[in-house]
């Protein structure tokens, strides 16, 4: 029987067509079931309702229409009172801190949960971004946790999370750079400087040290606190001398133990009593400070040495401390030891030079004393920054106008008021940190200023009151008394 022409070719062609159909079925079937190829569904970005509108807007700038995701991503946010260990896909987006009025004596916010940090009420504080914090607002603790002490609590920490099957491949390259570029204060960038008032380890304290056998005794209740800061300052008016007695303002040499026990880093020598036991004792005292690694400002073995500013470069922060004696005696004008005399033109030049370096300028003044004391009742005359000998308010404000950031009076034996003024802040008098004046209520008290400095700027100053009695062991004032006393000082501000 004769075969038809072309039948073999048809079989071959049919086989090819069948193979192509089968291949196409498998190829497109796989794509259909795996959602790839022409059947691929692009990944979707899901914004959880926990996100704020501003956060969605920020994220939308990252996940634009041009971004082609293979897998879905879900973005959520939450708030924490303690900074958690961040897992994969979690980023710290914001730190919010509670602040109140600069003149408020409130110190703490008590809450049971983070949700209570967002009340619809006039609760005496507001939450602000930590990068908006400055010295004109008072930072509050949360449940007794102070953010600038811990950097991991005392704030509301905003965490944004990304969840995706392909987080590492797809999401991380898109978002990591955005969040890693955010900056927040950290412990190794914030300089703490505790500034204290008058120290005069003398007179009856010389008798006491002979009884207790050592200088550390006087710092037992305050040493740990003052030693906890990066830098600690005091204005010591009394030189070490072998002639120290119960009646003169000279210090038994064992009192160096008091200063090392409080972790003293900076001693100010603007006082008017450092020459009470002679030039030789004043020079030897400077040598003792040098031997103990204690920096000196506002005084020296000569007038030229006394006039040198103290330039500090710590934790990436530049601070210039300037300290002057303004007509209270004890200044040096030549090659004898003494305090740095105030001259308007010198102060203006030194402030200008410090600001040109980008430094924060802290300027201390040994001013005329407000000597209104009474042993029987609380006399408030010196709460206000006044003196029969001069215009203290006018001078201190003038120094702010000249460019100083912080002006501090370091001669007052009783704490005085304080105020925001211009672009700076003034503390008119800090009172006695260590002295024997235990018979007048006003002279037993002092203010410790704890400055927190970040990026060459004053971030915050905590005001911590102290008190001592006839034991001469300075201690922190209890909370109730501190609130009463600070309110008293605040009520007298200019």
The pLDDT score that the predictor gives to residue 192 is 98
Mean pLDDT of 242-257: 97
The rounded percent of the chain whose pLDDT value lies above 70 is: 90
Domain 190-490, second-level architecture:
4-Layer Sandwich (3.60)
Tens of pLDDT, residues 298-330? 999 999 999 999 999 999 999 999 999 997 889
The pLDDT score that the predictor gives to residue 78 is 98
The pLDDT score that the predictor gives to residue 28 is 46
Rounded CA-CA distance 220/213 in Å is 13
Tens of pLDDT, residues 105-153? 999 999 999 999 988 778 889 999 999 999 999 999 999 999 999 999 9
Q: What is the 3-state secondary structure (H, E, C) of the chain?
A: CCCCCCHHHHHHHHHHHHHHHHHHHHHHHHHHHHCCHHHCCCCCEEECCCCCHHHHHHHHCCCCCCCCCCCCEEEEEEEEEECCCCCCCEEEEEEEEEEEECCCCCCEECCCCHHHHCCCCCCCCEEEEHHHCCCCEEECEECCECHHHHCCEEEEEEEEEEEECCHHHHHHHHHHHHHHCCCCCCCCCEEEEEEEEEECCCCHHHHHHHHHCCHHHHHCCCHHHHHCCCEEEEEECCEECCCCCCCCCEECHHHHHHHHHCCCCEEECCCCCCCCCCHHHHHHHHHHHHHCCCEEECEECCHHHHCCCEEEEECCEEEEEEEEECCCCCEECCCCCEEEECCHHHHHHHHHHHHHCCCEEEEEEECCCCCCCCCCCCCCHHHCCCECCECHHHHHHHHHHCCCCEEEECCCCCECCEEEECCEEEECCEEEEECCCCCCHHHHEEEEEEEEEECCEEEEEEEEEEECCCCCCCEECCHHHHHHHHHHHHCCCC
The pLDDT score that the predictor gives to residue 40 is 47
Look at 43-47, 128-132, 384-388 and tell me which has the smallest mean pLDDT.
384-388
Mean pLDDT of 77-104: 97
The pLDDT score that the predictor gives to residue 10 is 63
Do 425 and 461 meet the contact criterion of CB atoms below 8 Å apart? yes
**For 305, phi and psi rounded to 5 degrees?**
-65, -40
Rounded CA-CA distance 291/342 in Å is 28
Do 413 and 445 meet the contact criterion of CB atoms below 8 Å apart? no
Beta bridge partners of 92: 159
The pLDDT score that the predictor gives to residue 372 is 80
Rounded CA-CA distance 193/269 in Å is 18
Give the confidence band of 199 by pLDDT, cuts at 50, 70, 90: very high
The pLDDT score that the predictor gives to residue 23 is 53
Rounded CA-CA distance 259/227 in Å is 10
Q: What is the mean pLDDT of the chain?
A: 92
Domain locations in the chain as residue ranges:
45-180, 190-490
Mean pLDDT of 417-440: 97
Tokens of 405: 């950031």
The pLDDT score that the predictor gives to residue 388 is 65
Distances (CA, A) of 206 to 83, 199, 220, 240, 245: 49, 13, 17, 11, 6
The pLDDT score that the predictor gives to residue 369 is 85
Give the confidence band of 14 by pLDDT, cuts at 50, 70, 90: low
Tens of pLDDT, residues 344-371? 999 999 999 999 999 999 999 999 888 8
Tens of pLDDT, residues 371-381? 887 776 788 88
Rounded CA-CA distance 427/419 in Å is 7
The pLDDT score that the predictor gives to residue 160 is 98
Mean pLDDT of 386-414: 92
Distances (CA, A) of 195 to 267, 420, 430: 10, 18, 9
The pLDDT score that the predictor gives to residue 233 is 98
Rounded CA-CA distance 333/59 in Å is 65
Tens of pLDDT, residues 264-282? 999 999 999 999 999 999 9
| 18: pLDDT strictly greater than 70 | no
Q: Could you tell me which residues come within 8 angstroms of residue 295 by beta carbon, excluding any fewer than 6 positions away?
A: 265, 266, 267, 289, 310
Mean pLDDT of 388-395: 86
CA angle 453, 236, 390 (to 5 degrees): 85
The pLDDT score that the predictor gives to residue 15 is 61
| 400: pLDDT strictly greater than 60 | yes
């Amino acid at each position: 029987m004769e075969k038809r022409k072309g039948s073999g070719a048809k079989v071959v062609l049919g086989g090819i067509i069948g193979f192509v159909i089968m291949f196409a079925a498998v190829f497109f079937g796989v794509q259909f079931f795996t959602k790839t190829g022409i059947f691929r569904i692009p990944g979707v970005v899901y914004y959880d309702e926990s996100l704020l509108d501003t956060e969605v807007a920020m994220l939308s700038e990252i996940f634009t229409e041009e971004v082609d995701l293979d897998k879905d991503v879900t973005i959520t946010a939450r708030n924490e009172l303690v900074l958690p260990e961040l897992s994969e896909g979690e980023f710290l987006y914001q730190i919010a801190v509670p602040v109140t009025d600069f003149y408020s004596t409130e110190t703490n916010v008590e809450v049971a949960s983070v949700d209570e940090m967002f009340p619809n009420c006039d609760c005496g504080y507001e939450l602000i971004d930590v990068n908006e914090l400055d010295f004109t607002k008072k930072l509050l603790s949360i449940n007794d946790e102070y953010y600038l002490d811990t950097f991991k609590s005392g704030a509301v920490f905003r965490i944004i999370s990304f969840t995706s099957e392909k987080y590492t491949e797809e999401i991380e390259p898109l978002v990591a750079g955005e969040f890693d570029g955010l900056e927040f204060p950290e412990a190794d960038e914030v300089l703490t400087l505790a500034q204290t008032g008058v120290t005069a380890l003398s007179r009856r304290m010389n008798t006491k040290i002979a009884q207790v056998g050592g200088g550390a005794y006087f710092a037992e209740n305050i040493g740990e606190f003052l030693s906890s800061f990066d830098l600690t300052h005091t204005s010591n008016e009394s030189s070490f001398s072998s002639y120290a007695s119960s009646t003169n303002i000279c210090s038994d040499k064992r009192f160096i133990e008091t200063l090392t026990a409080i972790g003293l880093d900076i001693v100010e020598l603007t006082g008017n009593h450092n020459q009470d036991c002679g030039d030789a004792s004043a020079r030897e005292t400077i040598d003792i400070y040098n031997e103990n690694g204690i920096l000196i400002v506002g005084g020296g073995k000569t007038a030229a040495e006394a006039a040198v500013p103290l330039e500090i470069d710590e934790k990436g922060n530049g601070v210039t401390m300037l300290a002057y004696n303004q007509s209270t005696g004890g200044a040096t004008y030549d090659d004898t030891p003494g305090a740095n005399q105030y001259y308007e033109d010198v102060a203006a030049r030194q402030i200008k030079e410090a600001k040109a370096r980008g430094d924060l300028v802290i300027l201390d003044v040994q001013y005329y004393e407000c000597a209104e004391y009474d042993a029987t009742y609380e006399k408030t005359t010196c709460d206000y920054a006044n003196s029969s000998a001069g215009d203290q308010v006018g001078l201190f404000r003038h120094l702010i106008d000249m460019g100083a950031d912080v002006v501090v009076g370091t001669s007052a034996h009783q704490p005085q008021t304080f105020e925001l003024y211009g672009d700076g802040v003034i503390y008119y008098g800090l009172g006695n940190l260590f002295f024997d004046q235990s018979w007048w209520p006003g002279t037993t008290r002092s203010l410790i200023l704890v400055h927190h400095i970040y990026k060459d700027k004053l971030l915050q100053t905590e005001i911590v009151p102290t008190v001592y009695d006839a034991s001469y062991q300075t201690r922190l004032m209890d909370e109730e008394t501190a609130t009463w006393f600070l309110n008293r000082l605040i009520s007298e501000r200019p």
